[in-house]
Amino acid sequence: METDQALLKDVPEDIKLIERNVFEPHKYLGSTAGTGFTENSEPSVFKRFTIWVRGNLFIPDSRVFWIRPSVRFLKKYLTQHPEIKTIITTGPPHSAHVIGLKLKSKFGAKIRWVADFRDPWTQIDFYQNLNIGRRADAKQKRLERLCLTRADEVITVSPSCAEGLEELSNRSVHVVTNGYIFPEFDEKSIQLDEKFTIAHFGTMPFARNPLVLWQALRAILDENPEFGEHLKINIVGTVDYKVVSSYESFNLGTHVQLTPLLPHAQSIDLQRRSQVLLLVANNTGNVKGILTGKFFEYLGARRPILAIGGLDSDLSKAVEHTECGHFSEFEDVEGTKEYVLSCYAKFRDEQLFSRPKNTDIYNSEHLAKKMIEFL
């Protein structure tokens, strides 16, 4: 995978950036050792072995080899710079939090440690897929609890995630959602797709398979063949082979375009040109707390959003609060069908637009000020 350097331009020039080379074992063991669970085909014996290694030997994660050299370097650096009073660790990777834990143990009250959980740890949706044994599971949970209880402040991205972390640690957890610098642009200058494009951006593992959408689209196509002349489903990013099998089972393959992962700026441009943006939460145990950064990026594109997830989830509340589109539960075929048809009718009349409301609380500037309150 190539590294997209485009976002580095947003880093202020007066920020001192310290870089260190580290050993990355997942480069040699395959991507699953370091990422989520999206497969191009049935996992091989070697791939299943790497998953076991990832779950049982790389604790807390495949960036475990960051810990010792980083702690060694940062102990020396912090000793030489006593003016530094606060450290922030952001995870995943949760190895970053273990680095914070060890630095806190060394410096104690001299350093204020803020642990920022942008995703859960043992409550993450793919944790059960790591084939973790009892000893490894116990070690993961012990490290997680130590980080949660010894940090001076703990922050996470959604109310439901906060509830889960509070149950584990018996302490208050602050919420600072993901956000976005909402751009100003002339919507009339955007050349929208000529097709009725439903576009998904980002990784689509099988846990994120929008089965309810495939069912709704198949029903619409059966009732209205003309719809098929306009329909285009654009999936941008890595797609699990079982997702491909799923939409093909509904004879939707001719309408699907698979697009490789794009540089960020190109992805933003494509989002603004899509007719409808698709966002799917993982259909797993922690679905209630999933509120990804992609949602806020979609808000910035000002296109109608079709979000699919769990009832009474943080995502459903955010969609309702911003009035940015429609939220469907995983099994709500009829509601999904009605929304797609309403968007299609507006598309035919060239009146398909989105005007999200109440987005100020998700503006990055507002969230940065909220973060400063903790510092």
CB-based contacts of 31, cutoff 8 Å, min separation 6:
1
Check if the beta carbon of residue 138 is closer than 8 Å to that of residue 126: no
The Cα-based distances of 147 to 90, 137, 140, 359 in angstroms read: 12, 16, 11, 32
Check if the beta carbon of residue 121 is closer than 8 Å to that of residue 141: no
CA distance 97 to 116: 8
pLDDT in tens, the chain (375 residues): 456 677 777 788 888 888 888 887 766 655 443 344 565 667 778 778 888 888 888 999 989 999 999 999 999 999 999 999 999 999 999 999 999 999 999 999 999 999 999 988 998 878 887 889 999 999 999 999 999 999 999 999 999 899 999 999 999 999 999 888 888 887 778 999 999 999 999 999 999 999 999 999 999 999 999 999 999 999 999 999 999 999 999 999 999 999 998 998 899 999 999 999 999 998 887 677 778 889 999 999 999 999 999 988 999 999 999 999 999 999 999 999 999 999 999 999 999 999 899 998 898 888 888 888 877
